[in-house]
Amino acid sequence: MAANETQYPSYSRAEIVADGLVHALGLAASLIAIGMFLAFRWDHLSSGQLAALSIYWLGLIAMFTVSGAYHMTPWERFRARLRRADHATIFLKIAGTYTPFVVTIGTGFGYIVLAIVWALALFGAITKLFRWSAPGRWNAALYVGLGWISVALMWSVFETSPAAGGFAAAGGILYTAGILFFKWESLRFSNAIWHGFVVAASGCFFAAVSLAVSA
């Protein structure tokens, strides 16, 4: 392990509680939304769409669960492993979000983009898990950059469902805007605010995915 792997940001009790509530909201909203979507759309999904959605949903749930565990755990001996997993699951959630879009679009170009995204995401996740380096406050920009590769697919998404394209664009903008608060270390509750942007952006992408596969 790198020496600085055991150095963590310091937050007040109020900031930790606020961040925990944001994570709980994100996880609860995800589970409820998945349940509602399945209740209304189960019979209308192809096997390919269901498989793609399952990958996306697992990534979404894993992201909120692991991130919450890392930021909330009172046991310092687990924090290094949880931080590795936290950063790795973000890569997997991003790639998972692409998957149902591409399966729905169904073009060769879309699958090429998906293959590139998954290759980069797996490389990033494995690097975080097994070749850790200090995270740095620019890490969020790497994730957002991977997410913005989706620009290559936006026209196809808009053609499939204009509303889905609008929600996807809004989600990308929210993620990008949230970096300001992620980097604003001196701002009180900056971490909770950043994760609030993550929850809001994830909600937009959930709506976008749901609309796209339902079109």
- Stretch 185-208: mean pLDDT: 95
Give the C-alpha separation, 54 to 102, whole Å: 14
Asked if the model's pLDDT at residue 3 lies above 50, the reply is no
- Stretch 143-168: mean pLDDT: 93
Which candidate, 95, 207, 105, places its Cα nearest to that of 156?
105
Confidence of residue 76 (pLDDT cuts 50, 70, 90): confident
Determine whether the annotation assigns residue 195 to a binding site. yes
Task: Calculate helix-pair angle for 139-147, 162-183, nearest 10 degrees.
Answer: 170
Give the C-alpha separation, 34 to 55, whole Å: 12
- Stretch 34-63: mean pLDDT: 96
Structure tokens belonging to residue 14: 């109020």
The predicted pLDDT at position 124 comes to: 87
pLDDT tens digits for range 17-30: 999 999 999 999 99
What is the number of alpha carbons within 13 Å of residue 58 lying toward its C-beta? 11
Give the C-alpha separation, 97 to 52, whole Å: 9
The alpha carbon of 10 is separated from its chain's Cα centroid by a whole number of angstroms, namely 24
In this structure, are residues 193 and 187 in contact, taking their beta carbons and an 8 Å threshold? Answer: yes
Asked if the model's pLDDT at residue 1 lies above 50, the reply is no
Give the C-alpha separation, 42 to 31, whole Å: 15
Q: Is the dihedral of CA 180, 182, 188, 189 positive or negative?
A: positive
Q: Which residues, at least 6 apart from 10, have a Cβ–Cβ distance to it below 8 Å?
A: none
CATH fold, domain 13-214, is: Rhopdopsin 7-helix transmembrane proteins (1.20.1070)
The predicted pLDDT at position 144 comes to: 80
Percent of the chain with pLDDT strictly greater than 70: 91
Percent of the chain with pLDDT strictly greater than 90: 69
The predicted pLDDT at position 133 comes to: 59
User: Which segments of the chain does DSSP mark as H helices, in order?
Assistant: 13-41, 47-72, 76-105, 108-130, 139-147, 154-160, 162-183, 190-214
- How far is residue 118 from each of residues 55, 111, 122, 167, 176, measured CA to CA in Å? 12, 10, 6, 22, 21
Question: Model pTM greater than 0.85?
Answer: yes
Confidence of residue 168 (pLDDT cuts 50, 70, 90): very high
- How far is residue 170 from each of residues 23, 134, 164, measured CA to CA in Å? 20, 30, 10
- Stretch 122-126: mean pLDDT: 90
Asked if the model's pLDDT at residue 91 lies above 90, the reply is yes
The predicted pLDDT at position 2 comes to: 41
Confidence of residue 149 (pLDDT cuts 50, 70, 90): very high
Asked if the model's pLDDT at residue 138 lies above 70, the reply is no
Determine whether the annotation assigns residue 23 to a binding site. no
